[in-house]
Structure 1
Amino acid sequence: MPFTLTTETSYEEEIKKSRFQAIAAPVENEQQVKNFLEQHLDLSTTHQCWAWKIGHHVRFNDDGEPSGTAGRPILATIDGNDLTNTIVLVNRWYGGIKLGTGGLVRAYGGCAGQCLLLAEKIELIEKKEIYFTCQFNEWAIFQYELNQQNIEYIEEYTADGVAIQARLQLDQIEPFALKIQDVTRGREQLKIMDETNV
């Protein structure tokens, strides 16, 4: 079962006079990755190397360090912790002593690994976006049901009734679909919108 992080976490250490700082955070899409990297852009660093994984999508960047010595080891720590929907950025302030390729791999991977050890992890539960409509008099029943199960939803009032969009865990979909058919006497169906992971 994959895990993700609950909040942003950071860790710092000095290795042969170079200062390394790792920052790990949960991300759900590439826009959040972009926002995270913009937010942590630090022109005082010598290198800002990073890796992220969202579902099956991965990217990493060595930011001027020798190829394969920074981004890949950071990604390996994400994989090694069974994490997804996670980004780890490792900043380096060069201290004047060259670490060599093996030293860099250990420094970047080690700093990222320590940061992830400190991070609080949570099991990632896959959810799907669903959509359904109902009449005004039926909405109170569904609203109660959604609130009881702590399901996040958006309702939109139309001329004909209420259109609802919600994010359901996989095991909630079938019972909810039956509830919709039951309350609306088969008039409405639950529709799954797309295949997004949380």
Structure 2
Amino acid sequence: MPFTIKETVVYEEDVKKSRFQAFAIPVETEEEIKTVLETYKDISTTHQCWAWKIGHNVRFNDDGEPSGTAGRPILATIEGNELTNILVLVNRWYGGVKLGTGGLVRAYGGTAGKALLLVDKIELIEKIDVYFECNFSEWPILQYELVQNQITFSEEYTATGVSVNAKIQIHQRIELAKKVQDVTRGREELKGTHDD
């Protein structure tokens, strides 16, 4: 069962005069990862190494450290903790003592691992994309339903009404489908992105 983390956690430690700082950050999309990496960009660091995992997609970056000594050990700690939808960024400020490849692997993996010991793990509930259309007069009722159930959505106003895209948890589908049919008196139905 996959888990993600509730909120961002920071952990710092010194290893042979180098300072390591790890951020464990919850993320949902690759676009969000790009934004987070820009936000956390710190030009005072010697290296900013990271790894992320969203579902089956993974990426890592050694940022100038010897290949396989930073990003891959960070990714290993993410996978070892059965986490997904997470980015772990480890900053290093070089302190003048070379750590060697084994030392780097232990320092990056260890700092990431200690940061992950501090996180609140939450079960990841899979979400699906759905959409529906409704008349202008029906939209306030359906909008209220989405807001009450903490469903993320976007609406687009057309000449004939409102077209709505939403991201729902799988278990919410039946209830929302029923609500759409009730409010539109059977005229409209909830569709998934994989439906025809």
- Asked if Structure 1 and Structure 2 have the same fold, meaning a TM-score greater than 0.5 normalized by the shorter chain, the answer is yes
**Distance in 1 (alpha carbons) for counterparts of 2:178 and 2:188:** 10
State which drifts further: 46-55 or 92-101: 92-101
Aligned to 1:34, the other structure's residue is in SS state helix
Alignment map for 1:70-149 (pairs within 5 Å): 70-149=70-149
Q: What is the aligned partner in structure 2 of residue 66 from structure 1?
A: 66
Assess, with a 3 A threshold, how the Cα gap between structure 1 residues 66 and 147 changes in structure 2: closer, same or farther.
Answer: closer
Alignment map for 1:1-198 (pairs within 5 Å): 1-193=1-193
State which drifts further: 164-173 or 36-45: 36-45
Aligned to 1:172, the other structure's residue is in SS state helix
Assess, with a 3 A threshold, how the Cα gap between structure 1 residues 35 and 161 changes in structure 2: closer, same or farther.
Answer: closer
**Distance in 2 (alpha carbons) for counterparts of 1:43 and 1:140:** 48
- Structure 2 counterpart of 1:178, which letter? K
**Distance in 2 (alpha carbons) for counterparts of 1:34 and 1:136:** 36
Taking only the aligned residue pairs, the percentage that are identical comes to: 68
**Distance in 2 (alpha carbons) for counterparts of 1:30 and 1:149:** 25
Assess, with a 3 A threshold, how the Cα gap between structure 1 residues 102 and 192 changes in structure 2: closer, same or farther.
Answer: same
Kindly state the Cα deviation for residue 145 of structure 1 after the two structures are TM-superposed.
3.0
Assess, with a 3 A threshold, how the Cα gap between structure 1 residues 57 and 149 changes in structure 2: closer, same or farther.
Answer: same
Structure 1 stretches of 5 or more lacking a match? none
Kindly state the Cα deviation for residue 140 of structure 1 after the two structures are TM-superposed.
4.4
State which drifts further: 183-192 or 138-147: 138-147
Aligned to 1:4, the other structure's residue is in SS state strand
May I ask how many residue pairs the two structures share in their alignment?
A: 194
Aligned to 1:75, the other structure's residue is in SS state helix
RMSD, matched Cα: 2.0
Kindly state the Cα deviation for residue 134 of structure 1 after the two structures are TM-superposed.
2.0
Kindly state the Cα deviation for residue 31 of structure 1 after the two structures are TM-superposed.
1.9
**Distance in 1 (alpha carbons) for counterparts of 2:171 and 2:178:** 13
Assess, with a 3 A threshold, how the Cα gap between structure 1 residues 144 and 49 changes in structure 2: closer, same or farther.
Answer: closer
- Structure 2 counterpart of 1:48, which letter? Q
Please, what TM-score do these two structures have when normalized by structure 1? 0.87
**Distance in 1 (alpha carbons) for counterparts of 2:123 and 2:177:** 25
Deviation track 1:166-186 (CA, whole Å, cap 9, x = no partner) reads 221101112322332344343
Assess, with a 3 A threshold, how the Cα gap between structure 1 residues 142 and 50 changes in structure 2: closer, same or farther.
Answer: same
Aligned to 1:63, the other structure's residue is in SS state coil
- Structure 1 counterpart of 2:93, which letter? W
